Amino acid sequence: MNVAMDADSLATLKFGIGQPVPRKEDPTLLQGQGRYTDDISLSGQLYAVIVRSQVAHGRILSIDTETAAAMPGVLGVYTGADLVAAGFGLMPKGLAFKNRDGSDMAKPDQLPLTTDFVRYVGDPVAFVVAETQMQARDAAEAVMVDIDPLPAVTEPALAVEPGAPQLYPNVPNNLILDYHYGDAEGVAKAMSAAAHVTKLRIRNNRIVVAQMEPRSAIGEYDPATDRWTLRLGCQGVFGMRQMLSSVLGAKTGNIHVLTGHVGGSFGMKASLYPEYLCALHAGRALGKPVKWTDERSDSFLSDSHGRDHDFTAELALDEDGKFLALRLNGFGNVGAVMSNSTPQPSTLNAVKNSIGVYRTPLLEVNTKIVFTNTTPVGPYRGAGRPEANYYMERLIDTAAAEMGIDRIELRRRNHIAADAFPYRTPSGNDYDSGDFPALLDHALALADWDNFSTRRTESRKRGKLRGLGVGQYLEVTAPPGAEMGGIRFEPDGAVTIITGTLDYGQGHATPFAQVLSNQLGVPFDKIRLIQGDSDQLIAGGGTGGSKSIITSGGAIIEASGLVIDKGKKIAAHVLEAAEIDIEFSGGRFNIAGTDRGIGIMELAAKLREGMQLPPDMPTTLDVAHIYKGAPSSFPNGCHVAEVEIDPDTGETEVVRYSMVNDFGVVINPLLVEGQAHGGIVQGIGQALRERVVYDEDGQLMTGSFMDYCLPRAVDAPSFAFDAHSVPARTNLLGAKGCGEAGCAGALPSVMNAVVDALSEFGIRHIDMPATPEAVWAAIAAART
């Protein structure tokens, strides 16, 4: 084969970096052939149903399992005491933070199933295993849990008050962490000397994740090999295995974690949940696989919730509107139990993300992280990043109104300039790249900002208020973490990528294959992805913090380099040339200066067939590499939302939405735009509709989609989407994470537009969600 462009390299063009390649898994998923955990049924499988607390707080007096155990088909009824007796340890303690006085944050011991107190409605206390799902359900209803109710507290500001109900004996005032960051004295000085200080109390509403696929798990144990197997939807099997190891007291080698398709997670499925341990315990105790699948009503109670901050935000400005200092004081409500990201969102991520794209020399964040009798709060799309951007952008619009400066002009006066990189922020991040002023201009042009007044007049004729808002965000994606870059040339001619990020709807297989195809010239349709089998991984940071393309993409690039190194040695032997004369390009190993060479797929085939090789020569092209990861990237963008409000009913409709994003080098624009759309719709949901509500006894008032208002497709306008890319300088692809950005742009742009529409009534702020009732009430209050 002496053609310059063989079929392999042609494939790299069509599937190259920057091409809008559709997702590899779409045909499978669209035909209903996906394999989600609940689709798997193992032979002899049993079914578990969880018994949950129906009160928010109380002491467990007794759990009577006798009646349930005697019911038809029931094979076991277990409580927390059984797990303790079986040697199950404490739940992982998650992240370590320091209090402002330097002491360690509180970390109460938490068992997989509580044995003494229940602390939220939905707290699991027992589980039933039976031959069928219905039998298990019926028996679960017959488990008698006698609880002596205690007063509950759901609001963090109340939970830290003296005399408030206490959730854990060794966590006084329910205060897990008294977090402080920044130069308090400097900020205080700047605030008192400033020409103007804008101050807002902002509630960041608690929301449910509402992923499509409920959590599900199948637990098994093989006594012959002393191995546990857990099948579940999660965000990374390598990390999940690590967490299991600590609770099970088993070596990681004795634990096998498998994940197939995952129908959405948004951060929520990253944590280790008690139900998985229940399935494993019963799997061992009964010698059969045990499946547990949540029901939607239980998902509302037991999947970690998102957001739920309560901050007072202050921005100090000089007489020209230059930002001097930003201060956030408030609470992060983390619910009743630690999740794996407690307490990061309202502490460290508030620090890192709040200044966004603006020069702000001084920053202080004080957060009280507090337990309450509510469902645990976990990471949710952005995990503090969109919240922080939202605080800043709301402050800017408010300051602009208070000081009589145009809100766009105020942003321009404070942008970090395009030539200021690298730029060290007061949170210690080094922004490497970006062009924030140009991005703003680009977005305003796309949104036809200048002709807004014409559209407003037209709305007014129909009796509607119209508002326009911008949200210019910058997110700090996850810090570096080790990730596997495995490449394997399979017997059937396929090439497998093995990496430990995990796709729960993003479509990883496609961009990863594009990267590999681009590096090695391997045909796109021959590339497979293994991500959900812990036995195949030697490292894996999982998915989270918008980092997958940066870490797995980087791992694939480095691993590809190693494949080429090996291939050169073998090709030199095959082509009877010196290794130093072999060049690799377009998927071929060539002897430099000649037209002689061999394609990488052909070389792999020869190796497969068995070739005589000298003893010191590699025998395969396969590579199992650990990439040490790349620094955080700084995706940013400017979103412009336009809303119409019916003043008589308070109904708000997002009528136009434009965005310009800087995601650096984009591997697959189709998937990136999809990520933006999804994030924005979630943002619109949080801004206009969604809110978790508890009553004073800690009962969840919004426990179904009847009472919890999730946005629908009709609630979203068509999106105008444009890119303004400045390649990242700190990772191999030049990429910036895009997964969480939609929320970060949507929350401020939509709410700034709502406030803009209401500004004629003198309204300066309204909290999310701006439901019809809330908007109507704000107007009614402003009119009287």
Partner 1 sequence: MSLSYASPTTVNEAVALLTGATGLTKILSGGTDLLVQLRSGRVKPDIIMDTKKIPGILGIIETEAGFVIGAATPGAVIGEHAGLAAAYPGIVEAANLIGSTQVQGRASLAGNLCNASPAADSVPAMITAGAIAIVVGPNGQRAVPVEQIVIGPGRTSLARGEFILEFKLPKPAARSSGAYLRFIPRTEMDIAVVGAAVNVTLDAAGVITHARVSLGAVAPTQLLVVDGANAIIGSKLDDAALAKLDAAARAVCNPIDDKRGTIDFRIKVAGVLARRAAAIAVQRALGQAAGTKH
Note the residues at the interface with partner 1 (CB under 8 A): 648-651, 689, 693, 701-702, 706-707, 709, 711-712, 714-715, 771-773, 776-777, 780
Distance CA 402, CA 408 (A): 14
| Nearest distance, CB of residue 323 and partner 1, angstroms | 38
Complex with partner 1: residue 92 or 769, whichever CB lies closer: 769
| Nearest distance, CB of residue 761 and partner 1, angstroms | 16
Complex with partner 1: residue 336 or 700, whichever CB lies closer: 700
Beta bridge mates, 200: 313
| Nearest distance, CB of residue 260 and partner 1, angstroms | 29
Q: Which class for 229: exposed (0-12), middle (13-18), buried (19 or more C-beta within 10 A)?
A: buried
Going across the sheet that includes 175-182, the strands are 175-182, 362-370, 323-333, 306-317, 196-207
Complex with partner 1: residue 639 or 689, whichever CB lies closer: 689
Complex with partner 1: residue 669 or 772, whichever CB lies closer: 772
Q: Is 167 helix (H, G, I), strand (E, B) or coil?
A: coil
Q: Give, in order, the Cα–Cα distances in Å from 419 to each of 360, 416, 481.
A: 17, 8, 29
Distance CA 92, CA 710 (A): 32
Q: Are 7 and 655 in contact (CB under 8 A)?
A: no
Q: Give, in order, the Cα–Cα distances in Å from 775 to each of 16, 338, 380, 645, 771.
A: 48, 35, 26, 9, 6
| Nearest distance, CB of residue 779 and partner 1, angstroms | 10
| Nearest distance, CB of residue 773 and partner 1, angstroms | 5
What are the start-end ranges of the H helices in 56-142? 66-69, 80-85, 133-142
Tokens describing residue 109? 């011991």
Complex with partner 1: residue 476 or 775, whichever CB lies closer: 775
Residue position matching structure tokens 């719709």: 681
Category of 34 on φ-ψ map: left (φ > 0), alpha (ψ -120 to 50) or beta: beta
| Nearest distance, CB of residue 745 and partner 1, angstroms | 23
Distance CA 254, CA 244 (A): 10
| Nearest distance, CB of residue 717 and partner 1, angstroms | 13
Complex with partner 1: residue 557 or 768, whichever CB lies closer: 768
Complex with partner 1: residue 721 or 776, whichever CB lies closer: 776
Complex with partner 1: residue 402 or 651, whichever CB lies closer: 651
CA angle 604, 606, 607 (to 5 degrees): 65
* Secondary structure E strands in 150-302: 175-182, 196-207, 216-222, 227-232, 255-258, 290-293
Complex with partner 1: residue 71 or 438, whichever CB lies closer: 71
Q: Which of 237, 219, 232 is nearest to 538 (CA)?
A: 237
Task: Give the H or E element holding residue 636.
Answer: strand 636-645
Tokens describing residue 77? 């009824």
Distance CA 348, CA 738 (A): 20
Q: Give, in order, the Cα–Cα distances in Å from 86 to each of 78, 243, 252.
A: 11, 17, 18
Complex with partner 1: residue 280 or 775, whichever CB lies closer: 775
| Nearest distance, CB of residue 184 and partner 1, angstroms | 41
Q: Give, in order, the Cα–Cα distances in Å from 89 to each of 82, 83, 245, 582.
A: 12, 8, 10, 56
Complex with partner 1: residue 591 or 778, whichever CB lies closer: 778
Q: What is the CA radius of gyration of the chain?
A: 28
Complex with partner 1: residue 441 or 715, whichever CB lies closer: 715
Complex with partner 1: residue 234 or 778, whichever CB lies closer: 778
| Nearest distance, CB of residue 145 and partner 1, angstroms | 20
The bridge status of strand 652-662 relative to strand 719-723 is parallel
Complex with partner 1: residue 183 or 646, whichever CB lies closer: 646
Complex with partner 1: residue 506 or 702, whichever CB lies closer: 702
Q: Are 463 and 469 in contact (CB under 8 A)?
A: no
Q: Are 336 and 372 in contact (CB under 8 A)?
A: yes
| Nearest distance, CB of residue 699 and partner 1, angstroms | 12
Distance CA 651, CA 644 (A): 8
Q: Are 317 and 196 in contact (CB under 8 A)?
A: yes
| Nearest distance, CB of residue 704 and partner 1, angstroms | 11
Complex with partner 1: residue 239 or 647, whichever CB lies closer: 647
| Nearest distance, CB of residue 715 and partner 1, angstroms | 6
Q: Which of 354, 353, 342 is nearest to 379 (CA)?
A: 342
Contacts made by residues 404-407, CB under 8 angstroms, sequence distance 24+: 405/321, 407/470, 407/752
Half-sphere exposure in the Cβ direction for 567 (13 Å, CA):
32
| Nearest distance, CB of residue 705 and partner 1, angstroms | 9
Category of 404 on φ-ψ map: left (φ > 0), alpha (ψ -120 to 50) or beta: left
Complex with partner 1: residue 224 or 706, whichever CB lies closer: 706
Q: Are 416 and 359 in contact (CB under 8 A)?
A: yes
| Nearest distance, CB of residue 305 and partner 1, angstroms | 17
Q: Are 80 and 111 in contact (CB under 8 A)?
A: yes
Complex with partner 1: residue 378 or 703, whichever CB lies closer: 703
| Nearest distance, CB of residue 396 and partner 1, angstroms | 30
| Nearest distance, CB of residue 700 and partner 1, angstroms | 11
Q: What is the DSSP letter of 56?
A: S
What are the start-end ranges of the H helices in 237-273? 237-248
Q: Residue 547 — φ and ψ, nearest 5°?
A: -120, 0
Category of 73 on φ-ψ map: left (φ > 0), alpha (ψ -120 to 50) or beta: left
| Nearest distance, CB of residue 651 and partner 1, angstroms | 8
| Nearest distance, CB of residue 127 and partner 1, angstroms | 22
